[in-house]
A and B are shown apart, each in its own frame.
Chain A
């Protein structure tokens, strides 16, 4: 009988504890309701991509020496380099170059290894099209420069979380001259050089 009573009390305790935990969870959810939304309303507001953002790849046709390093370092050999050997100058002549961004994973290996720096990353990331074949960029399309978010009059640029002043979580309505938390890279560099001079 006592054992049974103990079971009943244990069960009741567990039930009460479960109810308390549910109440705790509810209070957390309720607390979240009065926080400001962190939504970035995309087509009208855009986050400023960070310096090392890996977006759509930019290609400079004239710099390319058709070495095909980009093809070799690419995980899936994606770039298509169409060249022919010019016997008179004994140099490769590039005819066409293309990358299919429907397949590219934006790993940046090609940019990293390109010996003449003719490949570079841009800030462009909204590549949506109605046909996936339109994502296959040829050398003309690859050579276009994207709009900068900060210069687009249609878009309100917003800073990313790491670029906000200390303690600020909401990028909306920052005062114009506000600085990000911590030192800027050039400041760190300057300090290091100053130390080195001493």
Chain B
């Protein structure tokens, strides 16, 4: 099945028509999607930080940023510029090599995971066969960077924060992976495109939320814990650990941690929307609408609309989840470290195992509804 717009094909065709060899045209094409996604992810973070400030302000009956640009929209740029030009301090007794390497190791895997986020049938960098598994394995690298940062800072709060972050990441990786396995079982594939394909066709009724409500909740809780969002922000618990592993960081290195955590939040929301909320699908399937209006599916303008609607829907769903995360931040108090690990190991893990077994049983019993 290959519907929708094929940007790569048409771009290469254009260059070949201009007189380049097919190989050279591919080389010219290769960096473009990566650059686009990198810029897009950074822009997404800027929007998220602005939203975080504005929504937090609204939840607390404040105004929030107002004077920097219209509605304070330039405040994330001011933030970023400030972090860029601030002095980069490396503490005297710190291990400067590991101290520098830590933030990079935390940020790079998160950006790499954008490889497999689909915004449409052909609107992703690469449709890997291992798909979602790549994200799980990449997100398991981050604890190493956190431990590195915590250790290299030569500060007990940093070390404790790093250890907590690593413990939290490892514990919540398991329920996360198990709920993803249930999804993969239903769609018979790990590829993100296939997972979204399998949810399309029935509009909002076909989304995985209805078939995997428990999995959805587990995935969302575990994703919040992986992102160190507020009910689970123990690694940087201000009252206990100053700022956890970020304590000694300043300037652009702190900026990398900040960027990484927000990119991670956006990424997790994107994956929730891909895995459970039908990805780029509209509430009503586009094909049905087109049939109803009597427009052929291969009409160019319809394809353009479908493509842009896909991007908009994916982003809309993701930002709805970001909004939910921010709302949760101001609703729930922080859990203690033992409560956190109890929740992870004694609640989420058994429940996600039961969910997996249930999915397998349902798949055997009702193969038509659960992707036999």
- A residues bordering B, Cβ < 8 Å? 15, 22, 25-26, 28-30, 32-33, 35-39, 41
Contact = CB atoms under 8 A, between A and B. Distances in A.
Interface of B: 55, 57-63, 66, 327-328, 330-332, 347
Nearest to A30: B327
B330 A29 contact: yes
Given A15-B347, A22-B331, A22-B332, A29 B59 contact: yes
Contacts of B58: 32-33, 37
Shortest 3 CB-CB contacts between residues of A and residues of B: A25-B331, A33-B58, A29-B331
B328 A32 contact: no
Contacts of B61: 32, 35-39
20 contacts: A22-B332, A25-B332, A26-B327, A26-B331, A28-B331, A29-B59, A29-B327, A29-B330, A32-B59, A32-B61, A33-B55, A33-B58, A35-B61, A37-B57, A37-B58, A37-B61, A38-B61, A39-B61, A41-B63, A41-B66
B354 to A, nearest CB: 11
A26 B230 CA distance: 14
Nearest to B55: A33
Given A33-B55, A37-B63, 8 more contacts: A15-B347, A22-B331, A25-B332, A30-B327, A37-B58, A37-B62, A38-B62, A39-B62
A41 B60 CA distance: 15
Nearest to B330: A29
B332 A33 contact: no
Nearest to A36: B61
Contacts of B57: 37
A143 B188 CA distance: 83
A15 B347 CA distance: 9
A26 B59 contact: no
A32 B56 CA distance: 10
Nearest to A31: B59
Contacts of A29: 59, 327, 330-331
A22 B332 CA distance: 7
Given A36-B61, A37-B61, A38-B61, A26 B328 contact: yes
Nearest to A39: B63
A29 to B, nearest CB: 5
A148 to B, nearest CB: 26
A98 B259 CA distance: 51
Given A22-B331, A25-B332, A28-B331, A33 B59 contact: yes
A98 to B, nearest CB: 38
A42 to B, nearest CB: 12
Nearest to B66: A41
A32 B332 CA distance: 15
A10 to B, nearest CB: 14
Contacts of B347: 15
